[in-house]
Structure 1
Amino acid sequence: MLDITRRATVYRMVMEKHICPFGLKTKDLLERRGFMVEDYWLTTRAETDAFKAEHDVKTTPQTFIGGQRIGGYDDLRRHLGEVVKEPKATSYTPIVAVFAMTALMALAGSYAAYGTPLTMRAGEWFIAFSMCVLAILKLQDIEAFSSMFLGYDLLAQRWVRYAYAYPFCEALAGLLMAAGALNWLSIPVAMFIGLVGAISVFKAVYVDKREIKCACVGGSGSVPLGFVSLTENLMMVSMAVWMLSMHR
Structure 2
Amino acid sequence: MPKDSNQPAQKAILYRMVMEDHLCPYGLKSKDLLEREGYTVEDHHLTSREETDAFKEEYSVETTPQTFIGGERIGGYDALREHFGQEVRGDDETSYQPVIAIFSVAFLMALGLSWAFYGSVFTVRAFEWFIAISMCFLAVQKLQDIEGFSTMFLNYDLLAQHWVRYGYVYPFGEAIAGILMVAGALLWISAPIALVIGTIGAVSVFKAVYIDKRELKCACVGGGSNVPLGFVSLTENLMMIFMGLWMPARALGWT
Q: Give the letter for the 1:247 counterpart.
A: A
Shift of 1:99: 0.1
Summarize deviations over 1:198-225 as a string: whole Å, max 9, x none: 0000000000000000000000010000
Matches within 5 A, 1:150-165: 150-165=154-169
For the pair 1:208 / 2:212, whether they are aligned, the reply is: yes
Shift of 1:3: 6.5
Q: Which runs of 5+ in 2 are unaligned?
A: 1-6
Shift of 1:244: 2.2
The match for 1:103 is: 107
Summarize deviations over 1:146-175 as a string: whole Å, max 9, x none: 000010000000000100000000000000
For the pair 1:189 / 2:193, whether they are aligned, the reply is: yes
The match for 1:58 is: 62
Residue in structure 2 matching 1:118, options 112, 122, 142: 122
Q: Secondary structure at the match of 1:57?
A: coil
Residue in structure 2 matching 1:76, options 69, 74, 80: 80
Q: Distance in 1 between matches of 2:184 and 2:248?
A: 12
Q: Distance in 1 between matches of 2:29 and 2:163?
A: 46
The match for 1:85 is: 89
Summarize deviations over 1:2-52 as a string: whole Å, max 9, x none: 979x21000000000110000000000000000111010001000000000
- Provide the aligned length of Structure 1 versus Structure 2: 246
Q: Secondary structure at the match of 1:24?
A: helix
The match for 1:16 is: 20
Q: Which runs of 5+ in 1 are unaligned?
A: none
* Divergent runs of 4+, >2 A: none
Q: Distance in 2 between matches of 1:83 and 1:186?
A: 42
Q: Secondary structure at the match of 1:36?
A: strand
Residue in structure 1 matching 2:232, options 223, 228, 235: 228
The match for 1:28 is: 32
For the pair 1:241 / 2:245, whether they are aligned, the reply is: yes
Q: Give the letter for the 2:230 counterpart.
A: G
Q: Secondary structure at the match of 1:8?
A: strand
- Identity, % of aligned positions: 65
Q: Secondary structure at the match of 1:89?
A: coil
Q: Give the letter for the 2:125 counterpart.
A: R
Summarize deviations over 1:102-160 as a string: whole Å, max 9, x none: 00010011111111122110100000000001000100010000000010000000000
Q: Secondary structure at the match of 1:124?
A: helix
Q: Give the letter for the 1:83 counterpart.
A: E
For the pair 1:67 / 2:108, whether they are aligned, the reply is: no
For the pair 1:133 / 2:137, whether they are aligned, the reply is: yes
Residue in structure 2 matching 1:179, options 183, 196, 211: 183
Shift of 1:247: 1.9
